[in-house]
Structure formats: structure tokens, C-alpha cells
């Protein structure tokens, strides 16, 4: 076997051999540290019991590490220039399929049915393109797919938001929406020097484990998104005022909003960042019952 793809020398050699430049617009910062990639695969607890979807294989640095542990790996890469590169760098592995595909436009249920046998656990492991980190996470969580775990590298600041607890500055709409469905944990922080080219900011690997059952079920997902985003829309405004903006002042006045919140043991003077995921669920379900 060749030495690992994940080294500065080999990464540069591959790019030069194919006459390729790194496309900033596609978030192409390639990982060049083999140990870190092995740690990432370990965080995802990848074994022969797992089928893995990778987003953005680049030149295959993470893909090959995944293939050494997983049953099957399917990697989605939007940059067609990289397809011939991957065909060569990953030629030794018979359990990898690379598809030219924009992940945000993928029909994932169909793709999963085509790629995997349904007898293995499904995991996502990826070093995400940072310009679309949040859209990808939201997209994956909306899919009707039997996803077990996601281990994803992203900007450290976004990783802190995903895993933030109430009453902290990083806690926001993304924390609530993600943590409703997943247990989120910041697993490893990664210095920018581990990439070629180096990104502007440090990175972190987040482990998201899908909850088998949500803590308390929300009756309308679109309303939940609206309420959570609405409550955090103006962080300095209190809950009562944000609620009025969401509902509309013609449907509820200040006193009614305060009363409505009091029924849930909430106060209009609280800030969104003080509410737990469970309290956002209750708020959403009560609003739905009220028909607002």
C-alpha cells in the first residue's frame, strides 16, 4: 500500500500531478494529519458493523481511513475535477464508492438504498466544507434516513454552538434544533496548521448521536423551527417581546403573552438563552394548541 494520503508531502504531490489548485469557493482545506483522521474515525466508533456516508472526500484522505474500518463507504464530492484523482488514490479499496454529487441536492434515501444493504448501522463522517456547515447539518437532520451518528469537522465556533448548554453565549437556535434530535459533544479541537491550505480559523470535531427517542416530542417541526429562530432573532429582547413578534400583535397582546408564558412557568422577562430544549418544545406545542 501507498503511504497515507493525509500528509503534506503526498497532498501537494497529488495536487501537482493533476495540475489542480485548491478551490476556496468549495471550502477545500484538506487534512494532512493521519493521526488526527484516525482519531476522528475512532470517535465515530467505525467498525465492520457500519456503512458510512462521507461528504466532500477531497483527494480521499479521510475516505481511506474510513474504508480501513468500515463495511462500506460512499463519498459524495461536488467537484468533478477530483473524481479521477479519487479513482487513483482510492484504487486499493473495494469498499468505497465515490459519487459526483452536491450533498444539498442529494436524494439520500435513494442513494442509501442504492449504496448499502440495510444490514449495517448508518453513520456520517466528514470534514465539512465550512461555507455550508449549518445547511448540511440541518439538511441531514431533516432526512428520513436511519442515521445513528454524525462525526463532523467544522469551524470551532460553530462546533461550540452545536454543543452549547443554556445560559451561555454560544447557546442559540442551532444548539436547540440540533440537540432536540441529537446528543452533541465537542470531541477534538483541531489547529488550522493541520490543513493545506490553512483555513482562517481553528476547527473542531463534533460527535452527534441521534436520540432514539426525543425527550418530549414536538408536534410541528416547522413551527418549532419558527419559534426557536424567532426567540433567538433578537438576543437582547426578552422572551415576551420575541413571542409577540412570532405570533403577531393582533393575535396576542403583552398581557396575554405574559399569562401564556406563566402557564408554562416561564416569564416574559426571560431571555431565549435561559430556555432548555424541553421548554422550547412545550412552548411550541402550546402555541400550536392555541392555534397561533
Q: Which residues are annotated as a binding site for S-adenosyl-L-methionine?
A: 29, 31, 56, 77, 102, 127
Query: Residue 159 or residue 281: which is nearer to ligand SAM going by CB?
Result: 159
Vertex 186 angle, CA 183 and 187, to 5° = 110
Task: Residue 33: name the closest of 64, 8, 1, 3 by CA.
Answer: 8
Q: In angstroms, give the least distance from the CB of 102 to ligand SAM.
A: 4
CB 45 within 8 A of CB 208: no
Residue 207 exposure: Cα atoms within 13 Å on the Cβ side? 14
Helices (H), the chain: 8-17, 34-43, 61-67, 82-89, 108-115, 133-142, 156-162, 173-181, 221-233, 239-247, 254-263, 277-290
Q: In angstroms, give the least distance from the CB of 263 to ligand SAM.
A: 44
The annotation places the binding site at: 29, 31, 56, 77, 102, 127
Where in 38-77 is the site for ligand SAM (CB under 6 A)? Answer: 55-58, 61-62, 76-77
Task: Residue 139: name the closest of 98, 109, 99 by CA.
Answer: 109
Q: In angstroms, give the least distance from the CB of 185 to ligand SAM.
A: 20
> Is residue 102 close enough to count as binding ligand SAM by CB under 6 A?
yes
Query: Residue 129 or residue 172: which is nearer to ligand SAM going by CB?
Result: 129
Q: In angstroms, give the least distance from the CB of 82 to ligand SAM.
A: 6
Q: In angstroms, give the least distance from the CB of 187 to ligand SAM.
A: 16
> Is residue 31 close enough to count as binding ligand SAM by CB under 6 A?
yes
Q: Which three cell numbers, joined as nine digits, stand for 164?
A: 452549547
> Is residue 104 close enough to count as binding ligand SAM by CB under 6 A?
yes
Q: Which of 42, 43, 78, 99 binds ligand SAM (CB under 6 A)?
A: 78
> What DSSP state is assigned to residue 165?
P
- Residues binding ligand SAM (CB under 6 A): 26-31, 55-58, 61-62, 76-79, 102-104, 127, 129
Amino acid at each position: 500500500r501507498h503511504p497515507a494520503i493525509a500528509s503534506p508531502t503526498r497532498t501537494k504531490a497529488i495536487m501537482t500531478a493533476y495540475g489542480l489548485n485548491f478551490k476556496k469557493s468549495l471550502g477545500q482545506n484538506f487534512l494532512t494529519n493521519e493521526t488526527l483522521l484516525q482519531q476522528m474515525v475512532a470517535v465515530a466508533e467505525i467498525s465492520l458493523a457500519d456503512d458510512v456516508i462521507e461528504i466532500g472526500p477531497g483527494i480521499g484522505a479521510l475516505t481511506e481511513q474510513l474504508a480501513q474500518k468500515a463495511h462500506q463507504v460512499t463519498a459524495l464530492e461536488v467537484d468533478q475535477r477530483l473524481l479521477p484523482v479519487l479513482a487513483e488514490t482510492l484504487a486499493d479499496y473495494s469498499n468505497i464508492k465515490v459519487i459526483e454529487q452536491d450533498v444539498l441536492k442529494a436524494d439520500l434515501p435513494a442513494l442509501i438504498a442504492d449504496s448499502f444493504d440495510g444490514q449495517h448501522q448508518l453513520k456520517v463522517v466528514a470534514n465539512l466544507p465550512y461555507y455550508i456547515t449549518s445547511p448540511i447539518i440541518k439538511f441531514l437532520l431533516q432526512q428520513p434516513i436511519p442515521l445513528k451518528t454524525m462525526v463532523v469537522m467544522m469551524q470551532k465556533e460553530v462546533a461550540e454552538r452545536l454543543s452549547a448548554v443554556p445560559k451561555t453565549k454560544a447557546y442559540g437556535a442551532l444548539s436547540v434544533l440540533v440537540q432536540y434530535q441529537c446528543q452533541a459533544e465537542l470531541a477534538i479541537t483541531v489547529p488550522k496548521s493541520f490543513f493545506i491550505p490553512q483555513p482562517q480559523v481553528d476547527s473542531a470535531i463534533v460527535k452527534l448521536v441521534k436520540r432514539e427517542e426525543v425527550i418530549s416530542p414536538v408536534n410541528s417541526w416547522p413551527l418549532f423551527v419558527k419559534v426557536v429562530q424567532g426567540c433567538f432573532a433578537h438576543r437582547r429582547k426578552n422572551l415576551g417581546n420575541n413571542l409577540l413578534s412570532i405570533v403577531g400583535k393582533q393575535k396576542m397582546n403583552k398581557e396575554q403573552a405574559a399569562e401564556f408564558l406563566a402557564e408554562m412557568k416561564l416569564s416574559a422577562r426571560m431571555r431565549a438563552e435561559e430556555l432548555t430544549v424541553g421548554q422550547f418544545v412545550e412552548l411550541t406545542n402550546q402555541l400550536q394548541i392555541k392555534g397561533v
